[in-house]
Structure 1
Amino acid sequence: MSMVRPSLTIAAVLILLVILLGLAVGAGWTQAVDLQISQTLALRTGESGPAFIAFMQWASWIGGGAPRWIIVVLLCGLVWHWCGPRCAVALGGASLLSNLASSLMKLGFGRARPDVINHLDHVSSASYPSGHATSAAVVYLLLAWLAPPRWRAAAWTLAATMIILNGFSRIMLGVHWASDIVGGTMLGIAFALLGVWWVRRGRA
C-alpha cells in the first residue's frame, strides 16, 4: 500500500495548487504575464494563413467536445486489452470526473475569455481552468502510465506531444490565457494520478 499513497498526496497538492492559482487569477496577479503571452502567440495566429489556423484547430480538437469522448472510448478499449477492465474504468472515470471538476471550477471562478483576437474556436463557458488542457493531460498521461513496457516510451512521447500541442493551440486560437492552461494541466495530472492510485490499489 505504501506505493499508492504518494499518488494521492501529489494529486491533493495539485488540486490545491489549481485552486490557489485560480484565486491568484481572480486577484489579477497573472494578468500582465497572461496578456503578454496571448499577444505574442494569439496575434501571430491571427496573422497566419488558414493552413496554420486549421492545424491549431485540429490540435485543439483532441482535447474537447465530442472528439474527446470518442478518443476516450477508443482508448478505454485499448487499455482494457492491455491490463484489464479496472484500467479501462480508471481511464473513463478519471476523464469524466476531471471534466466535472473543471466545469465546476469554471463556474466558481467565472473568468472571462481573452479578447486579444477574434476567437478562432467556439467557446461557451468560462475560461479558468482550461477543460481542453485538463482532458489532454488526464487522458494521455493515464494512457502512458497504463501502457505495457514495450509501448511505454512511445506512449510518454505521445502524451507530452498532445499536452503541449493542445495547450499552445488554445492560447493561439485566442480562447484561453496561459494560466488557464497551467491550471487545467495540473488538474488533469491530479486526476490521472488518482486513476493510477485506483489501479494500483486494486493490484495491491
Structure 2
Amino acid sequence: MDRHSRLPIIAAGLLLAVVLLGFAVEAGWTAAADWQVSRALSLRVDEGSAAFIALMQGISWIGGGTPRWIIVILLCGLVWHWCGPRCAAALGGASLLSNLASSLLKLGFGRTRPDLIEHLDHQTSFSYPSGHATSAAAVYLLLAWLAPPRWRALAWTLAFGMIILNGFSRIMLGVHWASDIVGGTMLGAAFALFGTWAVARRGLRQS
C-alpha cells in the first residue's frame, strides 16, 4: 500500500475521532479541561485592550462567513493555476463538504456555546465542532498539500498559522470550547486528506 492509498484510511479515522470526541463532550468528559482552557484564555480578552480584542475579532471575521468564501474562491483560482481544474475542484469541494459536515454535526450534538464571558462575536449556531476550525484546516492544509515545491514551505507556514490563530481567536472571544476547536480541526483535516487523495490518485499533483 503506497502512502497515497493510506490517506482515505487516515481521513476515515479522523472522522471517527470527531464523532467519538463529540460523544465524550456530551458525556461531560471534557468539561473540566474545556472550562480551564476557556477561563485562562477568554479572561485575557475580557480584561485586555480594545486593540487586542479587535485583532481577535478580525482573525475570526476572516475565517468565517462571506470573507471565508471569498478567500476559498481566490485560492481555488490559485490552485487551478498550480495544477489544473481538478485541484481547484478538490479545494472547493473539500471546503463545501467540510462546512456541511460541520453544520450537520452541530445539529446532531447540539452543544451550547460557552458562557464564561459575554460573546465578543455574534453566534446563533451550536458549538461542536467549530466551523471556523473546520474550514481553516480543510482549506489551508489542502492548499499546502497542493502547493508546488517552491511555495510549499510558505503554504505550510500559512496553514499552521491560520489553524492556530483561528482556534485561539474563537476561544478568546468566548464563543467556543477547546474541544470544539480540536473536533473542528480533525474534521477539516479529514476532508483535506480526502481532497489530497482525490487529486493524487489521478496523478495531477505537481511535485
Shared fold per TM-score greater than 0.5:
yes
Cα deviation digits, residues 119-152 of structure 1 (max 9, x gap): 0001110000000000000111011000110000
Q: What does 1:1-204 correspond to in 2, within 5 Å?
A: 2-203=2-203
Shift in Å, 1:203 = 1.5
Contact 1:135 1:188 (C-alpha < 8 Å) held by counterparts: yes
> How many aligned residue pairs are there?
204
Cα deviation digits, residues 132-186 of structure 1 (max 9, x gap): 0000001110110001100000100010111000000000000000000000000
Task: Report SS of the residue matched to 2:126.
Answer: coil
Q: Distance in 1 between matches of 2:72 and 2:99?
A: 12
Shift in Å, 1:2 = 3.4
TM-score (norm 2): 0.97
Q: Distance in 1 between matches of 2:52 and 2:84?
A: 40
Shift in Å, 1:60 = 1.1
Shift in Å, 1:201 = 1.6
Q: Distance in 2 between matches of 1:37 and 1:85?
A: 42
Letter in 2 for 1:28: G
Cα deviation digits, residues 67-99 of structure 1 (max 9, x gap): 100000000000000010010000000000000
Contact 1:59 1:166 (C-alpha < 8 Å) held by counterparts: yes
Task: Report SS of the residue matched to 1:203.
Answer: coil
TM-score (norm 1): 0.98
Q: Which runs of 5+ in 2 are unaligned?
A: none
Deviating beyond 3 angstroms after TM superposition, the runs of 4 or more aligned structure 1 residues are none
Q: Distance in 2 between matches of 1:120 and 1:108?
A: 25
Shift in Å, 1:14 = 0.2
Give the share of equivalent positions with the same residue, in percent: 75
Q: Distance in 2 between matches of 1:14 and 1:61?
A: 27
Shift in Å, 1:3 = 3.7
Letter in 1 for 2:50: P
Task: Report SS of the residue matched to 2:201.
Answer: helix
Q: Distance in 2 between matches of 1:24 and 1:62?
A: 30
Cα deviation digits, residues 89-110 of structure 1 (max 9, x gap): 0000000000000000000000
